[in-house]
A = this chain, B = another copy of it.
């Protein structure tokens, strides 16, 4: 193990599932999907990705770090918006290819770059004809104004988005 590869290589499927060695299974891009839920409300706040460095820094510091796929760089959650995430609990899944973080938010309690508490602010109605699925906004109040927080309007359109 080195700074570049701080985790052991994945083991056999049985060892991955029933063992205690943390040997995460990164995908072909070197990433793991990460679900962050709120310690306060339990709701799913966001789905993002970690590379090995983001995972290592999160474990070391207890603060959520991700890999931004759009900006192609390590990203400490809240570094620009102030809405950092303290990790209360981290779990991995059966085959160690996904992470669940339970987090406490600092700042405006807004995980989404659009200013909302959660990125999941729209319902997909069930049973509708597929061609005409119309999303419905729920819990979509903005906790902050992205244009002010990110200081230029590009951010609100996604150039500084949370992934």
By a beta-carbon cutoff of 8 Å, the part of chain A in contact with chain B is 1, 6-8, 13-14, 17-22, 33, 35, 37, 42, 44, 46-47, 56, 58-60, 62, 87, 89-95, 98-100, 112-114, 116, 119-124, 126-128, 130-131, 133-138, 157-158, 161-163
Contact = CB atoms under 8 A, between A and B. Distances in A.
6 contacts: A7-B130, A13-B157, A37-B37, A42-B42, A90-B123, A100-B120
Give the oligomeric copy count: 2
B13 A46 contact: no
A37 B35 CA distance: 11
Nearest to A112: B94
A87 B126 contact: yes
